[in-house]
Structure 1
Amino acid sequence: MAMKKMVQITLYNQEKEEKRILLKLNRVGCGDEADQYCYSISQSIPLRDLMLDFIKRVGVTFNSVRFYYEDKPINPAFNAIWLHMKDGDTIAVSRRRNFRPTAATQSTLITLPLAVVGEKPVVLKVKHFRADALYYYLIGRNTPMKNLLHDYADRINELYEQVNLSCFRFCSIDMGKTADDLGLEDGDVIHAFLFAMRAC
C-alpha cells in the first residue's frame, strides 16, 4: 500500500510582497491514500489559481470537482481576504455529483458523442466574446447543446453555471435545445459569454 505524502505548494503575488497563509486541501471521498496538499498562498490571489494548480496535479477537469470553504462552494474569483480565511484553514474538495466526463483535450476539431445513433452531424464554431480562441465542434443535430457547453467550460476552466452560449441572433441558448431546434448549419458561430461575478 502506497504511503500518503504531503505536498506543499507556494502561490504568491509577483507584483507585490504580501502576507501569505497556509491552506490545507481535504479531498473528500478520495480514499485514505490521497496525497495531502497544502498551499502557502498570497491573500490577494484569486482562489482560481489554487484550483487550477490542484486539478493539474491530480489530473481532473475543472468541473469534475467542487471546492468548499465552511461548507459553502467557493467562487473562483474570490480570494482569501474576501472569504476571511485564516492561517491553517481547510478547503474541502469533493467530486461533483452526477458529473459526466467530457472530451476536454486539445484538438482542432472536437467530436462529441452522438445523442442518437446514426444522427447527422453539424460542425459549429464556438468563440469567446472577448478572446481570439475558436473551437470547432462536430456535434449531432439531435444532441443537446448542454453537452457542448460542458465540454467547452472544461476546456476554458470555467464553472458550467458561469458560461452562457448565444447563437447568431444573440439570444441565450436553451441547453436542452439541439442544432436542429435552433436551425444551426455547418460553419455557424456560437458565442460564449461569462456571467459577471460579484463579491458578497
Structure 2
Amino acid sequence: MKKSLILLIISAFSSVCYADAADWTPLLESMKKGCSVDSEALPYGKSDIGRLPAKYRASVARSHSRQTASDGEVLTIELKNSVAFGQPLSALVIESNEGYGHVKMKFARNADMSKLIPLFTTPTDKRRGMLAAGRAQNFCVKGANGTLKQYQSSRHHWRTVSSDGPWQEFRYHPKEHALSCLSSDYYGDEVECTR
C-alpha cells in the first residue's frame, strides 16, 4: 500500500512539473507526418530565437551555432523545463541549408522513447499503409507519371526517397536518446529501384 501511494505521489508530481513546462509540440508537430520540417515555426539561426514566443524563449538555457562545410548553419538550442509530445525535451539541433532541413530532438534520459517512435510515420500506398520504424521493409512504388519512390525501414529508422527529388528520413539515435527528421529536395538520385 505504501509503495502504491509513493508511486502515485511521484506520478502526480511529474504531471505537475510537465504542466508548467514549455511545450514545444506545436512547433514540432509537422514532423510526425513524413518528417516534414516547418521552417516557419522553428528558429534556424541564433538571431531567430528572439522572435519565438516568450514561453519558448524562457525555456532556452543557452544556444550556439556553427557553419557547415556546405555553407549551411547548425543551431543547437539547449533547453530547460521543456517537453515535446508529452516527454521531457533537453535540446534541439537544427541544421538548415537551401533545400535541406534537419531537426534532431534530444530527450531527457527519463523520456519514454517507446511512446515517441511510433508517432513518426509516412504514408506509402493503399496496399502497404504507413511506413514506420520498427520492422524491416524495402520496397518500391511506381507512380502514374513514372516517378519511382523507394521506402525502407528498420528497427531504428525509416526513409522515403523519390526519383523526382524529395527525400525524407526519420531516425532514432538510442545512445543520444534522440529522434531526428531530415527533409531534402536534392537526394532523388539515391533511389535504388529497378527502372
- What TM-score do you get using the length of structure 2 for normalisation? 0.26
Q: Structure 1 or 2: larger strand share?
A: 2
Q: Structure 1 or 2: larger helix share?
A: 2
- What TM-score do you get using the length of structure 1 for normalisation? 0.26
